[in-house]
Structure 1
Amino acid sequence: MFWDNHMHSNFSGDSKAEPIDMINAARAKKLRGITFTDHMDLDYPPKYGFFELDPYSYYEAQHKLALEQSDDNFTVLTGIELGIQPHIADDIYKVAKEIPFDFIIGSTHLIDKQDPYFDTFWESRDARQLLTRYYECVLENITAFTDFDTVAHLDYAFRYAKDPTVKEDTHQPYFEIVDEILNKIIKMDKSLEINTGGLRKGLANPNPALSIVKRYHELGGKMITLGADAHEPAHVAADFEKLPDMLNTCGFKEFMVYKNRKPEAYPL
């Protein structure tokens, strides 16, 4: 009875999916519930695309749909994925304070105003230097903005690395700063997201890699959230069947679902 806590609809700049189609896909897969988390990335470079969002009208529309589509066996919740940058922290604090989202994802998509999704990012410096800077940005971001519930796809940038020798090793070369990030998440009583988008994109691990998930547990981390990062109905809860065995080996027996910004535990 999984719950997919990270998905996008046509409220996001990179999805054309109708929200009802995502809901129907989740019902077909017999999920217990879903949480919509459409993108809001303020000051995202126009050369890459459009990721701004009117969070007020988004919440009004999605919450209305959630109330209409929820029943005793299936629940729809309304969240948001906030792209964090220190200079926009005040703006997204306002959104988090004023709108009663169930769940807020904190994400790092930009490294010094460049998105690693695009090839041009990897042309600027050595890959390991860029990836070290990525983790530095994650730490800077979750220090500048703390009103989130989970840290999304912690090793996101590695999905798009061109060099296969660095693509899969997201932990050991960077273990000091990864430990610093994980300790901060634990100290703030936040969750760490397990994002199956990495598996869908051909990696051997979800995001973050299982070695990082295990380290999070070793350091005292207790809370994880699950999300497929689906942008179309076919990807709702993609690869979730692999998660129980993977996460049990890392020490986790349950995952969290946030309702009204409060975590509830569900068994894996």
Structure 2
Amino acid sequence: MFFDYHLHSHFSADSDMTMDELCQAAIRKGLNEIAITDHHDIDYQDDTIEFLIDKDKYLQEIKKMQKKYENKLTIKKGIEMGLQSHILKESQLYLKDDFDFVIGSFHTVEKSDLYNGDFFEGYSQWESYIKYLKTVSKVVRKYDNYNVLGHLDIIRRYGDFENKPKLLENKEAASIIESILKTIIQKDKGLEVNTSGYRLDGENPLPSFDILKLYYELGGQILTIGSDSHKTKDIAQKFDYTIQKLKEIGFEELTTFNKMKAIPHKI
């Protein structure tokens, strides 16, 4: 019983994997259910790439895959929505009631891109980390049309810094993270466990296990697991190991979604 709830097809500008290739690989790897979650980032701050999806074409292609693999794989209509504080109304209008599952992610902060490094200019490492977390905190207090926060500590992946410390090592960062977690718990939102994090330090998903432990201690229960795959080889990466670690923390369930409603599954 495995579910990969973070997968990117060629509808994401940074993936060449077709939906058909994605589905076939998921079946080969023994997955029962997937959510295809391509990137939609309104007002993305890098002119060299565009993360905008033609929703009608996208949903039609997912529907085609659902029909083709209906007896082999459950396929949910998902999306990874790039959230920014100034485009929340536009995000709400785009999503409407058309999806089973929405990841709320932050790839751009203060109208500056994380990936290309623009966001970090003029800030120290911890100054940039704190600014990122304050933005996440501000948005989750105001906005509700998502199911889980994507790769909460993704900020550690970026920036030209020699070390990539865990965010809970800093007192101010830890306080903001605790506030974010309390907010999403109160609003019945969850966290994704993103196994692409192992490609950063070899030891942790995103968010790191210490943040996941804090989420559990605060009463958080809604967790999805996703590989953030842009290539077939990364689908379901280290799921067995990750689920065992989640059990050791105390988690007893993973969550899937149907029409934005959470469905818990014992692990």
Q: Is the structural similarity TM-score above 0.5?
A: yes
Looking at structure 2, the residues matched to 178 and 248 of structure 1 have their Cα atoms a distance apart, in angstroms, of 22
What letter is aligned with 1:133? K
Any unmatched runs of 5+ in structure 2?
none
What letter is aligned with 2:265? Y
| 1:184 Cα offset (Å) | 0.5
Indicate if the aligned counterparts of 2:26 and 2:235 stay in contact, CA closer than 8 A: yes
The answer to whether residue 37 in structure 2 is matched with residue 40 in structure 1 is no
- Please name the residue that 1:122 is paired with: 120
Q: Percent identity?
A: 33
Indicate if the aligned counterparts of 2:223 and 2:254 stay in contact, CA closer than 8 A: yes
Indicate if the aligned counterparts of 2:110 and 2:119 stay in contact, CA closer than 8 A: no
Aligned residues: 265
Indicate if the aligned counterparts of 1:78 and 1:103 stay in contact, CA closer than 8 A: yes
The answer to whether residue 237 in structure 2 is matched with residue 227 in structure 1 is no
- Please name the residue that 1:151 is paired with: 149
- Please name the residue that 2:161 is paired with: 163
| 1:213 Cα offset (Å) | 0.5
Which one is further off, 197-206 or 251-260? 197-206
Indicate if the aligned counterparts of 2:36 and 2:77 stay in contact, CA closer than 8 A: yes
Looking at structure 2, the residues matched to 131 and 8 of structure 1 have their Cα atoms a distance apart, in angstroms, of 26
- Please name the residue that 2:14 is paired with: 14
State TM-score, norm by structure 1. 0.94
- Please name the residue that 1:217 is paired with: 216
The answer to whether residue 36 in structure 2 is matched with residue 30 in structure 1 is no
How do 1:1-268 and structure 2 match up within 5 A? Answer: 1-71=1-71, 73-99=72-98, 101-165=99-163, 167-173=164-170, 174-268=173-267
Indicate if the aligned counterparts of 2:42 and 2:52 stay in contact, CA closer than 8 A: yes
What letter is aligned with 1:151? L
Instruction: Return closer, same or farther for 1:140/1:116 CA change in 2, 3 Å cut-off.
Output: same
State TM-score, norm by structure 2. 0.94
What letter is aligned with 2:108? L
Which one is further off, 7-16 or 139-148? 139-148
Looking at structure 1, the residues matched to 162 and 238 of structure 2 have their Cα atoms a distance apart, in angstroms, of 22
What letter is aligned with 2:17? A
Which one is further off, 143-152 or 9-18? 143-152
Indicate if the aligned counterparts of 1:4 and 1:227 stay in contact, CA closer than 8 A: yes
Looking at structure 2, the residues matched to 119 and 207 of structure 1 have their Cα atoms a distance apart, in angstroms, of 19
Provide Cα deviations, 1:138-178, integer angstroms capped at 9, x if missing partner. 1122233211011110001111243343x131223111000
RMSD: 1.5
Looking at structure 1, the residues matched to 135 and 203 of structure 2 have their Cα atoms a distance apart, in angstroms, of 25
Looking at structure 2, the residues matched to 121 and 3 of structure 1 have their Cα atoms a distance apart, in angstroms, of 33
Indicate if the aligned counterparts of 1:34 and 1:77 stay in contact, CA closer than 8 A: yes
Looking at structure 2, the residues matched to 91 and 119 of structure 1 have their Cα atoms a distance apart, in angstroms, of 25
What letter is aligned with 2:185? I
Looking at structure 2, the residues matched to 67 and 77 of structure 1 have their Cα atoms a distance apart, in angstroms, of 12
Looking at structure 2, the residues matched to 124 and 67 of structure 1 have their Cα atoms a distance apart, in angstroms, of 51
Looking at structure 2, the residues matched to 120 and 93 of structure 1 have their Cα atoms a distance apart, in angstroms, of 27
Instruction: Return closer, same or farther for 1:196/1:208 CA change in 2, 3 Å cut-off.
Output: same
Looking at structure 2, the residues matched to 257 and 228 of structure 1 have their Cα atoms a distance apart, in angstroms, of 15
| 1:46 Cα offset (Å) | 3.6
What letter is aligned with 2:237? A
Indicate if the aligned counterparts of 2:44 and 2:113 stay in contact, CA closer than 8 A: no
Indicate if the aligned counterparts of 2:66 and 2:75 stay in contact, CA closer than 8 A: yes
Any unmatched runs of 5+ in structure 1?
none
What letter is aligned with 2:107? H
SS at structure 1 position matched to 2:114: coil
What letter is aligned with 1:51? F
What letter is aligned with 1:172? E
Looking at structure 2, the residues matched to 66 and 169 of structure 1 have their Cα atoms a distance apart, in angstroms, of 39
